[in-house]
Amino acid sequence: MRQKTFYFVRHGESLLNSKGIRQGSDGGLSEKGKAQAQAAGQSLCHLPIDVILVSPYERTRETAAIINQSFQPPRNLEFVELLKERRNPSEIIGKSVEDPAVRRIVDTIDKAYHSDEFRFSDEENFLDLKERARKALSYLGKRREKNILVLTHGIFLRMLIAYMLYGDDLNASSYNVMSFQNGASNAGVTICQYERGWFGPPKNQRWKLISWNDHTHERGIQSHTI
């Protein structure tokens, strides 16, 4: 049996996060986000990480670079398209979360009970994101390394975990409930294990969630960054 450990980390706070702006792929970290990444790096650097897999978005790339400074020697970074954030509807990108129109769209997509096929406009809908999560987990499970750090995003991380837990039975309503009730903090660490082999668990039981959204390493950051 072969066991691998994955450390999933959401990027640090971005400038657009701090301003309450709905994001696309662009935008770097705020000063607080940089401090969060440094704290995460200091908590992770004692682990035997073999490789760091990173979403290609600017905020994840910057988070990964800061975290990697804590490793001696630095680990190899690989950029993986499958790890990027869900594509938002173009109607809300660059707009404030306080905009009433943006709120209505977000509530419709993220908090409403709707069919799996529902699509507001040009965003990745539930089925798109579920399929990408399936592909991402298949890709991660085939990696040869034993200890892997993964830099990704809040919504996609929740979809990854939901698919681990429910597999193909996952539907839009159950995902929305889980996503709404379980936050993913900036620079929070989620640990999962994957096992496979001739005598390992069946395919639908290979992934295990060990801990969710640990961000105790952030203590003291707020006072430090003010």
Helices (H) and strands (E) in the chain, counts: 8, 6
Integer Cα distance of 174 and 165 in angstroms: 11
Please state, in angstroms and rounded to a whole number, the distance separating the CA atoms of residues 58 and 164: 27
* d(C-alpha 96, C-alpha 88), whole Å: 13
- At 123-132, the pLDDT tens digits run 999 999 999 9
Residue 205: pLDDT band with limits 50, 70, 90: confident
Model pLDDT, residue 219: 73
Question: Which letter does DSSP use for residue 122 in this model?
Answer: S
Peptide bond into 74 cis (omega under 30): no
Long-range contacts of 107-112 (CB under 8 A, 24+ apart): 110/176, 110/179, 110/180, 111/176, 111/180, 112/176
pLDDT, tens only, 86-137: 999 999 999 999 999 999 999 999 888 899 999 999 999 999 999 999 999 9
Separation of alpha carbons 168 and 69, rounded Å = 38
pLDDT for the residue 215: 87
Over residues 136-180, the pLDDT tens digits come to 999 999 999 999 999 999 999 999 999 999 999 999 999 999 998
What are residue 54's DSSP bridge partners?
Answer: 79, 151
Report the alpha-carbon distance of residue 84 to residue 69 in Å, rounded.
22
pTM of the complete model: 0.93
**Contacts for 137 with CB less than 8 Å, ≥ 6 apart:** 160, 163, 164, 207
Tokens standing for residue 102:
């943006």
Instruction: Give the Å distances, CA to CA, from 114 to 7, 80, 162, 173.
Output: 32, 30, 17, 7
